[in-house]
Structure 1
Amino acid sequence: MTTDPRRQVPRTDTLLADPRLAGAGERLGRVLVKRAVQRVQQRIRAGEVAPGAAVDAVLADLPPVAGSLRPVLNATGVVVHTNLGRAPLSAAAVEAVVAASGTTDVELDLRTGRRGPRGEAAIAALLEAVPAAEAALVVNNCAAALALVATALGQGRELVLARGELVEIGDGFRIPELLESTGARLREVGATNRVALADYRDALGPGTGAVLKVHPSNFVVRGFIRAVEVGELAAALQGTGVPLVADVGSGLLRPHPVLPDEPDLQTTLAAGADLALASGDKLLGGPQAGLVLGRAELVQRLRRHPLYRAFRVDKTTLAALEATLRGPLPPVQQMLAADVADLRERARALAGRLVAGGVAADAVDADSRVGGGGAPEHPLPGAAVSLPPEFAEPLRLGATPVVGYVEDGRTLLNLRSVPPGADDALADAVLEVARRWT
Structure 2
Amino acid sequence: MSDQPAPEDPRRSVPRTDALLAEPAVQAAAERLGRELVKDVIARVQGRIRAAELPAADAVGAVLDALPPTAGSLRPVLNATGVLVHTNLGRAPLSPAAIEAITAAAGTTDVELDLATGRRGPRGEAAIGALLAAVPAAEAAIVVNNCAAALALVATALGQGRELVIARGELVEIGDGFRIPELLETTGARLREVGTTNRVALEDYRRALGPDTGAVLKVHPSNFVVRGFTRAVEVGELAGGLRGTGVPLVADVGSGLLRPHPALPEEPDLQSTLAAGADLVLSSGDKLLGGPQAGLVLGRTDLVQRLRRHPLYRALRVDKTTLAALEATLRGPVPPVQQLLAAQPDELRARARAVLERLTAAGIDADVVDAPARVGGGGAPEHPLAGVAVSLPAGFAEPLRRGQRPVVGYLEDDRTLLNLRSLAPADDAALADAVLEVAAAWT
Taking structure 1 as the reference length, what is the TM-score of the superposition?
A: 0.99
Partner of 1:264: 269
Residues 308-356 of structure 1 deviation map (CA, whole Å, 9 limit, x = unaligned): 0000000000000000001111000000000110001111111111100
1:149-164 correspondence runs (5 A) = 149-164=154-169
1:382 is aligned with what amino acid? G
Q: Does 1:134 align with 2:139?
A: yes
| Secondary structure of residue in 2 paired with 1:159 | strand
Residue 17 (structure 1) aligned with residue 22 (structure 2): yes
Aligned pairs for 1:249-328 (under 5 A) are 249-328=254-333
Secondary structure of 1:385's partner?
strand
Distance 2:42 2:170 in 1: 55
C-alpha separation between the residues in 2 aligned to 1:10 and 1:83?
A: 41
Corresponding position of 2:222:
217
Q: Does 1:343 align with 2:352?
A: no
Tell me if 1:367 matches 2:365.
no
CA shift, 1:412, in A, is 0.5
Q: In the TM superposition, what whole-angstrom CA distance separates every residue of 1:60-109 from its partner, at most 9, and x where no partner exists?
A: 00000000000000000100000000000001100111111111110011
Question: What amino acid is the match of 1:87?
Answer: A
Q: 2:246 aligns with which of 220, 236, 241?
A: 241
Q: Which residue matches 1:148?
A: 153
Deviations 1:37-81 (A, max 9, x none): 000001111111110111110000000000000000000010000
Offset, 1:413: 0.5
- Which of the numbers 3, 14, 29 marks the counterpart of 2:8? 3
Partner in structure 2 of residue 389 of structure 1: 394
Which runs of no fewer than 5 residues in structure 1 stay unpaired? none
Partner AA of 2:166 in structure 1:
L
- Residue 111, structure 1, aligned to residue 125, structure 2: no
Corresponding residue of 2:197: 192
Q: Distance in 2 between matches of 1:350 and 1:52?
A: 39
SS at match of 1:224: coil
Secondary structure in structure 2 of the residue aligned to 1:354: helix
> Which one of 428, 432, 438 corresponds to residue 433 of structure 2?
428
- Work out the number of aligned pairs and report it: 438
Q: CA deviation at 1:160?
A: 0.2
In structure 2, distance between residues paired with 1:87 and 1:301: 30
* CA drift at 1:170: 1.1
CA distance in 1, matches of 2:132, 2:424: 29
3-state SS in 1 of match to 2:84: strand
Give the CA RMSD over aligned residues. Answer: 0.7
Once residues 237 and 376 of structure 1 are traced to their aligned partners in structure 2, the CA distance between those partners, rounded to angstroms, is 29
Unaligned stretches of 5+ in structure 2?
Answer: 1-5
Secondary structure of the 2:390 match is strand
Equivalent residue of 1:321, what SS?
Answer: helix
Matches within 5 A, 1:67-106: 67-106=72-111
Moved more, 380-389 or 136-145: 380-389
For residues 230 and 273 of structure 1, what CA distance do their matches in structure 2 show? 7
SS in 1 for 2:91: coil
2:332 matches 1:330 = no
SS state of the match for residue 437, structure 2? helix
- 2:414 corresponding residue in structure 1: 409
AA matched with 2:276:
A
* Offset at residue 18 of structure 1 (A): 1.6
**What letter is aligned with 1:340?**
P
Please state whether the residue corresponding to 1:333 is helix, strand or coil.
helix
Q: Displacement of 1:4 after TM fit?
A: 2.2
Q: Secondary structure at the match of 1:202?
A: helix
Q: Aligned residue for 1:167?
A: 172
Question: What amino acid does structure 1 have at the position aligned with 2:35?
Answer: R
Deviation for aligned residue 1:3: 2.3
Q: Distance in 1 between matches of 2:304 and 2:145?
A: 16
Deviation at 1:2, TM superposition (A): 2.9
> How far apart, CA to CA, are the structure 2 residues paired with 1:319 and 1:437?
45
Task: State the identity as a percent.
Answer: 80
- Give the Cα–Cα distance (whole angstroms) in 2 for the partners of residues 30 and 349 of structure 1: 43
| Amino acid in the other structure paired with 1:259 | L
State the AA in 2 paired with 1:306.
P
In structure 2, the partner of 1:357 is 362
Q: How far apart are the structure 2 equivalents of 1:12 and 1:69?
A: 27
Q: Tell me how far apart the structure 1 counterparts of residues 398 and 442 of structure 2 sit (CA, whole Å).
A: 10
Which residue is equivalent to 1:52?
57
SS of the residue 1:277 aligns to: strand
Q: Deviations over 1:10-42 (max 9, x none)?
A: 111211122211111000000110000000001
Deviations 1:287-328 (A, max 9, x none): 000000000000000001000000000000000000000111
In the alignment, the residues of structure 1 paired with residue 409 and residue 178 of structure 2 have an alpha-carbon distance, to the nearest angstrom, of 27
Q: CA deviation at 1:168?
A: 0.7
Give 4+ residue runs of structure 1 displaced > 6 Å after superposition.
Answer: none
Secondary structure in structure 2 of the residue aligned to 1:78: coil
Amino acid at match of 1:103: T
Match of 1:151, SS state, is helix
Structure 1 residue 437: Cα displacement: 2.5
The aligned residue for residue 3 of structure 2 is: none
Look up the SS of the partner of 1:348 in the other structure: helix
> How far apart, in 2, do the equivalents of 1:384 and 1:353 lie?
15
Deviation, structure 1 residue 202: 0.6
* Amino acid aligned to 1:97: I
Shift of 1:234: 0.8
Cα shift at 1:175? 0.2
